[in-house]
């Protein structure tokens, strides 16, 4: 049985509008205009227990709306949503007791109090008994390496430290479902790596179902087995990550460094040729032209210093995908 079920989810809002400038401001004093926004327009997907799903899409696509509905703090206009055996917005307290949420850049801990004091308050809030709490805390402290910051006030922590403490805070009550909303935003490179490592471990070792929303494609690459792309309130793509590239942007690139200036080439089966000093970048479709044959042809006639075959970066893939679907920022 699936852990999370979402079917034909629809959500509409009313937003007020005002003209800019001084005239608009005065007019705004007298009357207001409204506009209907369709934030979600029939979203459907399912998550199995222990799955790690990446949810991506341009800003305004409906990602946070989906998360809010799954959290139970927003009621959909239409559609079905269940987590386990509960409808989130109908049984808020029961649902939320099994849920952990981490918002990037925002902390749920108490700003002026030491991290541990915040954890203690959360223990009280989630009604975790002392023994379970201590065990959990010890494990999480080890995995997240936050031993040293437990007694520091949250406001003195660096962003990387705060995010680790934040994840611990979200996991203290052993939730079955974990939402991570832009967790690596603003983090430096080592912190990002540490974060990904930790999330992967938590997912594997504890079997927590994880839903990750992010703009950072490296996060997706490192963590997500499956990716859902949302645009204009709809699911544009729902596929295992490995298949993503091949579905969206199948091309490869052959980068050749020549001994002298790059020659002018005319080759069959190459869709684009770019010159960069002594190098050439040949773009081709691996389904129609094999890399090996290209390499053979080029090296037969020219003196090649070095070469490599590249796949487009994941950002390019996604960007290309957004373009294909006109799914730019709403």
Region of 94-102, 136-144, 193-201, 216-224 interacting with another protein (CB under 8 A): 94-102
Does position 153 bind another protein by CB under 8 A? yes
Phi, psi (5° rounding) for residue 263?
-80, 165
C-beta closer to another protein: residue 154 or 249: 154
Q: Any bridge partners for residue 240, and if so which?
A: 226
Q: Which C-beta is closer to another protein: that of 73 or that of 265?
A: 73
Query: CA 183 to CA 146: how far, in whole Å?
Result: 17
Q: Which of 160, 147, 240, 148 is nearest to 197 (CA)?
A: 160
Beta bridge partners of 53: 211, 226
Contact between 206 and 199 (Cβ < 8 Å): no
Q: How far is the CB of 81 from another protein (least distance, A)?
A: 13
Which among 121-129, 216-224, 261-269, 278-286 is the span making contact with another protein, rule CB under 8 A?
121-129
Q: Which of residues 42-81 bind another protein (CB under 8 A)?
A: 65, 68, 71-75
Give me the least distance between CB of 194 and another protein, in Å please. Answer: 24
Residue among 97, 265, 313, 330 that touches another protein (CB under 8 A): 97
| Per-residue contact string for residues 178-197; x = within reach of another protein by CB under 8 A | --------------------
DSSP track, 133-194: HHHHHHHHHHHHT-GGGTTSBGGGS-HHHHHHHHHHHHHTT--SEEEEESTTTT--HHHHHH
Whole-angstrom CA distances from 104 to 52, 186, 192, 195 are 18, 8, 12, 12
| Contacting residues toward another protein, per CB under 8 A | 11, 13-14, 18, 21-22, 25-26, 28-29, 65, 68, 71-75, 89, 92-94, 96-97, 99, 101, 103, 106, 108, 110-113, 117, 120-121, 124-127, 153
């Amino acid at each position: 049985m699936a852990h999370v079920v979402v079917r034909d989810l629809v959500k509409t809002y009313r937003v007020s509008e005002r003209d800019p400038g001084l005239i608009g401001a005065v007019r705004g004093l007298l009357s207001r205009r409204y506009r209907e926004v369709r934030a979600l327009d029939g979203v459907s997907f399912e998550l199995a227990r222990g799955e790690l799903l990446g949810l991506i899409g341009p800003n305004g696509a409906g990602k946070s709306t989906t998360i809010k509905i799954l959290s139970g703090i927003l009621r959909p206009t239409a559609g079905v949503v269940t987590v386990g055996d509960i409808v989130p917005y109908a049984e808020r307290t029961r649902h939320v007791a099994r849920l952990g949420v981490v918002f990037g850049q925002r902390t749920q801990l108490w700003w002026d109090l030491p991290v541990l004091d915040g954890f203690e308050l959360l223990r009280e809030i989630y009604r975790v008994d002392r023994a379970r709490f201590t065990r959990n805390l010890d494990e999480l402290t080890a995995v997240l390496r936050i031993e040293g910051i437990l007694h520091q006030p949250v406001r003195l922590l660096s962003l990387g430290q705060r995010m680790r403490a934040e994840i611990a805070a979200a996991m203290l009550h052993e939730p079955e479902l974990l939402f991570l909303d832009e967790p690596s935003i603003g983090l430096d490179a080592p912190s990002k790596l540490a974060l990904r490592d930790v999330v992967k471990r938590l997912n594997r070792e504890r079997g927590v179902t994880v839903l990750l929303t992010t703009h950072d494609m490296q996060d997706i690459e490192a963590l997500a087995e499956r990716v859902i792309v949302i645009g204009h309130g709809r699911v544009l793509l729902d596929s295992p990550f490995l298949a993503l590239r091949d579905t969206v942007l199948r091309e490869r690139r052959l980068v050749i460094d020549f001994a002298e200036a790059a020659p002018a080439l005319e080759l069959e089966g190459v869709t684009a040729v770019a010159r960069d000093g002594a190098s050439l970048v040949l773009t081709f479709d691996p389904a129609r032209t094999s890399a090996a044959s290209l390499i053979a042809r080029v090296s037969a006639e020219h003196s090649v210093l070095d070469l490599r075959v590249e796949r487009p970066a994941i950002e390019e893939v996604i960007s290309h995908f957004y373009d294909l679907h006109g799914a730019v920022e709403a």
